[in-house]
């Protein structure tokens, strides 16, 4: 580990020199990539410098004790210093191991979230709206922007499905654990006898893929236009502004009808299609990795029941890590950092365990 850190320090110093190079500064793409790499290395290097200083202090204390020093008070101080630095070195080693875990290259990317109502009819659709509100309120606390790409609203204010993008640095790193089945237990507004219903909603978190990362052959697409349905006034029902794109090789179908412009609907549909195909590509790569080396928390299985929201008890339980919090109202209002921090920590610990097994 220390050899790796030493080499990383050399690279870090080289990056600092490059950042002062006028030719690199003039190249926006190269400079942006350099800044991203530098920003990734910075916390590792800061922790490494702290480790080196602690190691130096440990060695100094050890030298005093081994030097034959007769001053009892000085020896006592050196012994205390030695024990303190020994404990700190062990702690810093564990922190460095976590920092050196391979970083998900998509962590800083924007995301597209797709929410679909499952079992439970109108109550599931209403909860889909509740989850949409929860994620967008969380995005606001982070200073991220969100944009609805496509939505199929119901008469009572729910959503059969809704797709929206969240744009902000680190969006994927925080939201990537949300893919899966979310179960809700509550008394529906439409229930006159006060019985608790159980409904489900599926969430898929996709990396927003760039055109340069995923080339789509136009001949592989079938594009159909049709009249939009639902709310929107006379215009939306009289013009063929809605767009359906079918990716023939995979059978993936995407529809968009929220915009009056056919061009805008096509652009949004392509954005969703590109992200779905990119997700399939990532999943294929992950399937080639041994199961003990994959993320243990679960970041992509839409059939996996990951969480329960129990309204009568004010409880949220994440089944993957056994986390239960009794402040459901705050969570539904977008206070999600405690949940996301716990998931990220569980993921780190699982990957550390996998590294130790391989070693």
Q: Where are the domains of the chain?
A: 2-99, 111-210+296-352, 218-285
Q: What does the pLDDT look like over 127-149, one tens digit per residue?
A: 999 999 999 999 999 999 998 88
Burial (CB < 10 A; 0-12, 13-18, 19+), residue 276, is: buried
In the three-class reduction of DSSP (H, G, I as helix; E, B as strand; rest coil), residue 177 is classed as helix
Per-residue model confidence (pLDDT) at position 49: 93
**CB neighbours of residue 328 within 10 Å:** 17
Per-residue model confidence (pLDDT) at position 306: 93
Mark out the alpha helices in the chain (DSSP H runs).
2-18, 22-26, 28-66, 72-99, 122-142, 171-175, 233-238, 262-287, 328-332, 337-358
Q: Which residue has the higher pLDDT, 275 or 235?
A: 275
Q: Span 219-240, mean pLDDT?
A: 66
Please tell me if the domain spanning 111-210+296-352 has the same topology as the one spanning 218-285: no
Render 276-313 in DSSP notation, one character per residue.
HHHHHHHHHHHHTS-GGGS-SS-SS-TTSEEEEEETTT
What fold, for 111-210+296-352? Alpha-Beta Plaits (3.30.70)
**CB neighbours of residue 167 within 10 Å:** 14
Whether the Cβ atoms of residue 134 and residue 252 lie closer than 8 Å to each other: no
Whether the Cβ atoms of residue 244 and residue 146 lie closer than 8 Å to each other: no
192 token code pair:
């006159």
Exposure of 17 in the CB half-sphere (CA atoms within 13 A) = 6
Q: Span 219-229, mean pLDDT?
A: 81
pTM check: above 0.85: no
Per-residue model confidence (pLDDT) at position 233: 43
Per-residue model confidence (pLDDT) at position 289: 45
Of the listed ranges 18-27, 63-72, 317-326, the least confidently predicted one is: 63-72
Residue 189 makes CB contacts below 8 A (sequence gap 6+) with: 126
Render 135-159 in DSSP notation, one character per residue.
HHHHHHHHT-EEEEEEEEE-TTS-E
User: Which residues are registered as beta bridge partners of 263?
Assistant: none
Residue 44 makes CB contacts below 8 A (sequence gap 6+) with: 5, 8, 96, 99, 100
Q: Span 162-187, mean pLDDT?
A: 92
Q: Torsions phi, psi of 168, nearest 5?
A: 175, 150
Biggest alpha carbon distance in the chain? Answer: 97
Per-residue model confidence (pLDDT) at position 72: 86
Per-residue model confidence (pLDDT) at position 234: 42
In the three-class reduction of DSSP (H, G, I as helix; E, B as strand; rest coil), residue 116 is classed as strand
Residue 150: which pLDDT band, with cuts at 50, 70 and 90? confident
C-alpha triplet 223, 180, 118: angle, nearest 5°: 70
Per-residue model confidence (pLDDT) at position 45: 92
Helix (H) or strand (E) holding 161: strand 159-167
For the 218-285 domain, the top CATH level (class) is alpha beta
**CB neighbours of residue 69 within 10 Å:** 12
Residue 299: which pLDDT band, with cuts at 50, 70 and 90? very low
Q: Order the strands of the 221-226 sheet from edge to edge.
A: 221-226, 242-247, 252-256
Per-residue model confidence (pLDDT) at position 235: 43
């Amino acid at each position: 580990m220390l050899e790796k850190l030493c080499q990383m320090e050399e690279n870090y110093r080289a990056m600092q020199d490059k950042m002062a190079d006028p030719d690199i500064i003039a190249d926006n793409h190269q400079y942006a990539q350099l800044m991203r790499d530098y920003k990734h290395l910075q916390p590792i290097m800061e922790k490494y410098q702290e480790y080196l200083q602690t190691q130096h202090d440990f060695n100094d204390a050890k030298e005093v004790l081994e030097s034959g020093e007769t001053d009892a008070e000085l020896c006592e101080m050196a012994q205390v210093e030695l024990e303190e630095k020994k404990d700190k070195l062990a702690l810093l080693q564990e922190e460095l191991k976590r920092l050196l875990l391979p970083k998900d290259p998509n962590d800083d990317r924007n995301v597209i979230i797709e929410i679909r109502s499952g079992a439970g009819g109108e109550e599931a659709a209403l909860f889909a709206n509740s989850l949409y509100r929860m994620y967008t309120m969380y995005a606001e606390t982070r200073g991220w922007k969100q944009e609805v790409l496509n939505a199929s609203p119901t008469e009572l204010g729910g959503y059969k499905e809704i797709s929206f993008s969240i744009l902000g640095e680190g969006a994927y790193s925080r939201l990537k654990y949300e893919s899966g089945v979310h179960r809700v237990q509550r008394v529906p507004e439409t229930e006159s006898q006060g019985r608790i219903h159980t409904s489900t909603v599926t969430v898929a978190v996709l990396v927003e893929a760039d055109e340069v990362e995923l080339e789509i052959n136009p001949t592989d697409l079938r594009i159909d236009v049709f009249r939009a349905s639902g709310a929107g006034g006379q215009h939306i029902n009289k013009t063929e502004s809605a767009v359906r794109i079918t990716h023939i090789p995979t059978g993936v179908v995407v529809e968009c009808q929220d915009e009056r412009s056919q061009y805008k609907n096509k652009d949004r549909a392509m954005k969703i299609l590109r992200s779905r195909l990119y997700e399939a590509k990532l999943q294929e790569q992950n399937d080639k990795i041994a199961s003990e080396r994959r993320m243990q928390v679960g970041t992509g299985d839409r059939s996996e029941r990951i969480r329960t929201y129990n309204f009568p008890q004010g409880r949220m339980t994440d089944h993957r890590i056994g986390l239960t919090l009794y402040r459901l109202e705050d969570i539904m209002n977008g206070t999600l950092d405690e949940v996301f921090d716990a998931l990220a920590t569980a993921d780190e610990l699982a990957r550390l365990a996998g590294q130790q097994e391989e070693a």
